[in-house]
Structure 1
Amino acid sequence: MQVAITCRHGEISGDFRDYMSRKSEKLLHYFERVQSAQVTLDFEGDRVRVEMLVDAEHKHDFVTHHEMSADDVGPCFDQVLAKMEQQIRKYKEKLTDHRRDKPLSKVIGDGLDSDVEESENPE
């Protein structure tokens, strides 16, 4: 999975970039069709805004953003990641078929059993 991290009007350490990259790659655990993630940190005065854009195949982009004070870049990123995980889980849940239909073998098997009983007991 490709992870692009962009900073506007400020810088972050290499360790924090690695941390964000590792955490973003864990989105594959929730949805295996995730292809890329783009994280943008925008430092504006005493505030930081973190935005995450995730691209999955056969789906439009997932977008999440959060804004906090500039001292709290780590927790801000963690909240954005939690929101993204929630969005992906919700989307994956919508894709899952939850109907509890009887399997075809069970339907055919029930029909065969009644035919056998009728032929054994001709009345």
Structure 2
Amino acid sequence: MKARIEKKLSKRLVELLPSVYRNAWRDQEQSELAYDQGSSVRHVLSVGGGLDYWGEGQDAYTVWEDWQLNWCWHRTFEYYPIGHRFEGYPNTEGFRPTTINLLKLAAQCEQTSKGYP
């Protein structure tokens, strides 16, 4: 994926999920993807970073990276049953995490959090 696409997807996710990404901030530096591609894309919406209780730096991720890592926890997927090797984790079998499916899921998550069916 190109860095400019990641920037647009991050912006779109903040629009779709304002309750989840209300603390998103514009990173003045290049994203990791932009740096790897030698691109000059900057000001990508990001989350995380800052300092923890002990003054150690925390990792910052673009909004798109964060959504790709955590999408399964934002939807009410059925959980694996007791005794299964993935017990307690969401059962996401049959869901393909493509870009379009992840954007649709984000829109559904915000509607569900507002009380819509």
> Which TM-score band applies after superposition, normalised by the shorter structure?
0.3 to 0.5
Highest Rg: 1 or 2? 1
Q: Return the TM-score normalized by structure 1.
A: 0.33
Q: Return the TM-score normalized by structure 2.
A: 0.34
Q: Determine which structure has greater relative contact order: mean sequence separation of CA pairs < 8 Å that are 6+ residues apart, divided by chain length.
A: 2
